[in-house]
């Protein structure tokens, strides 16, 4: 179990630094930052930065240059300030300084590492930025990121990189790097990446996190993670800096909490993203979180929910999410969610539009267990397919639909695939598209004021294997549900 020493306060930090065994002091002009990543902030005007360092860091500092603020549109003076003039307090009009917090983490080799988190504010759309991180005295290498148009944008959705799942961390890392590079090459103006969770196989493994953070693109494109069942540890929480966890009165833990964190939300343009930690099985907790997130963002045109454990798939985990399916489906249906994005089952699937309906029945199937014996397994059925009232305006394009469409993403690294399980009365009832391609894939989601389109792509060939669009007119009215608490979650 990883131990941690909390940063008690900046006034005590000088004493702490002198007593840190194994801490590595960088050279006079070099700040060693690794596992550097960016998370979306509360909305498109904020970004959260996270990194690890062995360099003593009293106050983590982020220094950002708006390249448009300098002559010629390039941050030509930034390199001269960085590593030199910054420590003397010199700055230009284009440079902004942000300070954050740290915690001290004891990692696998008993080295004590500074886990640093800083939030950038006043982020502008369609802007090129250059940045460094440091401790106020010395600074890292230079990194860059570009922001996009919040009203017409795309994001990448990935499932289960799970570095180490194949028992070959090097191969898994290579597959993950290839996927990130392919996705961002194909969609170079991507606003951020969303993950279904299971970033690594073991959430206490430093080497697996090193593999996960290997893509250089993660220092320039924001990454929003869901917590998978392989992510539940304190070390996971140190690696990510998420916004808008909701802590109820009288509690110290956020709604949806397990080790690693709780539910959180952020907005981007007209879209509300609610990222749930379904390792916490309390539908009441997730219900309360979604109610508050929606109340805080009542005018969001699009509502997207992300969580790890797919409740509509048809592979290895199809039956072990029965309780989650029957408890969470009514909550999602109640709040008129447009799209749910999940992983866990290492298999691609897309449902029909689902709306209304109680627990209908069970669909049972016979399979051969690991012991060679036949066994009967049953899947709970809940949710009705809203097909009769749907208006299609082309193949895979639906106008002002009722209900929610659920997507399951396959492995983004190729570390593990699960076999397809066909279940009569379940698979053919709920799933509009499904396939085990046994190659890394990703989803690209394009969003504007009238259309949300989800498309699945192979990494090896770049082929688009599925696409689906929801189109909303200006007079679209969300469903027939009221916005109160869901009745099933109250039980």
DSSP letters spanning 190-214: --EEEE-S--BS-TT-HHHHHHHT-
* Number of Cβ within a 10 Å radius of residue 27: 9
* Number of Cβ within a 10 Å radius of residue 245: 18
What was the pLDDT predicted at 373? 84
What's the whole-model pTM score? 0.90
Summarize pLDDT for 27-62 with one digit per residue, the tens. 456 799 999 999 999 999 999 999 999 999 999 999
3-class secondary-structure state, position 150: coil
Pairing of strands 4-5, 405-408: unpaired
Q: At residue 487, does pLDDT exceed 50?
A: no
Percent of all residues in the chain with a pLDDT value above 90, rounded to a whole number:
74
Rg (CA), the chain: 23
Torsion, CA 129, CA 130, CA 134, CA 140, rounded to 10 = 150
What is the enclosing helix (H) or strand (E) of 391? strand 391-392
What was the pLDDT predicted at 488? 42
What was the pLDDT predicted at 75? 54
Statement: 4-146 belongs to CATH 3.40.50.300 = no
Q: Per-residue confidence at 96, pLDDT binned at 50, 70, 90?
A: confident
Percentages of the chain per state (helix, strand, coil), in multiples of 5: 20, 30, 50
Please name which of 290, 296, 268, 294 lies closest in space to residue 277, comparing C-alpha atoms.
290
Q: Choose between 156 and 488: higher pLDDT.
A: 156
Pairing of strands 112-120, 128-134: unpaired
Fold assignment, 153-490: Purple Acid Phosphatase; chain A, domain 2 (3.60.21)
- The residue count of the chain comes to 491
Q: Choose between 454 and 87: higher pLDDT.
A: 454
Q: At residue 244, does pLDDT exceed 60?
A: yes
Phi, psi of 302 (to 5 degrees): -115, 140
| CA angle (362 as vertex; 357, 363 as ends), nearest 5 | 115
What was the pLDDT predicted at 95? 79
Domain ranges of the chain: 4-146, 153-490
Mean pLDDT of 175-197: 98
Summarize pLDDT for 97-155 with one digit per residue, the tens. 899 999 999 887 788 999 999 999 999 999 999 999 999 888 898 899 999 999 999 99
> Chain centroid to CA 228: how far?
10
Q: Choose between 395 and 20: higher pLDDT.
A: 395
CB 59, CB 7: distance < 8 Å: no
Residues 143-179 as b/e (b if ≥16 CB within 10 A, e otherwise) read: bebebbebeebbbbbbbbbbbbbbeebeebbebbbbb
Please name which of 333, 344, 361, 375 lies closest in space to residue 487, comparing C-alpha atoms.
333
Pairwise CA distance, residues 347 & 127, whole Å: 37
Pairwise CA distance, residues 290 & 295, whole Å: 8
- DSSP string for 65-98: EEGGGSGGGS-TTHHHHTTTGGGGT---TTEEEE
Please name which of 173, 161, 258 lies closest in space to residue 201, comparing C-alpha atoms.
161
């Amino acid at each position: 179990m990883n131990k941690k020493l909390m940063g008690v306060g900046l006034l005590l930090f000088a004493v702490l630094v002198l007593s840190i065994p194994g801490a590595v002091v960088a050279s006079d002009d070099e700040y060693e930052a690794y596992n550097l990543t960016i998370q979306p902030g509360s909305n498109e005007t904020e970004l959260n930065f996270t990194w690890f360092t062995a360099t003593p860091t009293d106050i983590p500092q982020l220094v950002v240059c708006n390249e448009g603020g300098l002559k010629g549109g390039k941050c030509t003076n930034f390199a001269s300030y960085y590593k030199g003039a910054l420590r003397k307090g010199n700055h230009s009009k284009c440079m902004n300084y942000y300070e954050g917090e740290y915690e001290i983490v004891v990692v696998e080799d008993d080295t004590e590492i500074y886990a640093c988190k800083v939030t950038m504010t006043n982020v502008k759309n369609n802007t090129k930025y250059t940045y460094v991180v440091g401790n106020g005295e010395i600074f890292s290498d230079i990194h860059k990121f570009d922001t996009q148009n919040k009203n017409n944008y795309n994001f990448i959705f990935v499932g289960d990189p799970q570095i180490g799942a194949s028992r070959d961390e090097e191969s898994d890392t290579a597959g993950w790097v290839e996927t990130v590079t392919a996705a961002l090459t194909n969609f170079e103006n991507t606003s951020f990446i969303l993950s279904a969770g299971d970033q690594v196989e073991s959430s206490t493994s430093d080497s697996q996190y090193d593999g996960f953070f290997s893509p250089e693109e993660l220092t320039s494109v924001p990454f929003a993670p869901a917590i998978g069942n392989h992510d539940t540890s304190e070390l996971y929480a140190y690696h990510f800096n998420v916004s808008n966890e909701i802590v109820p009165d009288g509690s110290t833990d956020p709604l949806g909490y397990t080790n690693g964190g709780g539910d959180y939300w952020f907005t981007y343009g007209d879209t509300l993203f609610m990222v749930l930690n379904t390792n916490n099985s309390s539908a009441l907790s997730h219900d309360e979180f979604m109610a508050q997130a929606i109340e805080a963002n009542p005018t969001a045109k699009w509502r997207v929910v992300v969580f790890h454990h797919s409740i509509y798939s048809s592979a290895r985990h199809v039956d072990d999410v029965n309780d989650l399916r029957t408890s969470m489906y009514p909550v999602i249906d109640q709040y008129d969610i447009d799209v749910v994005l999940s992983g866990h089952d290492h298999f691609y699937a897309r449902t029909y539009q689902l709306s209304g309906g109680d627990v209908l029945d069970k669909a049972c199937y016979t399979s051969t267990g690991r012991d060679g014996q036949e066994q009967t397994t049953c899947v709970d059925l809940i949710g009705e397919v809203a097909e009769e009232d749907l208006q299609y305006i082309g193949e895979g394009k639906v106008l002002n639909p009722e209900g929610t469409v659920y997507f399951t993403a396959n492995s983004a690294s190729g570390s593990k695939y699960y076999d397809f399980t066909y279940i009569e009365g379940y698979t053919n009832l709920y799933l509009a598209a499904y396939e085990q391609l046994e190659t890394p894939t990703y989803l690209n989601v394009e969003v504007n004021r009238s259309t949300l389109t989800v498309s699945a792509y192979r990494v090896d060939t770049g082929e688009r294997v599925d696409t689906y669009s929801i189109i909303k007119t200006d007079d679209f009215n969300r469903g027939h549900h009221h916005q109160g608490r869901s009745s099933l979650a109250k039980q």
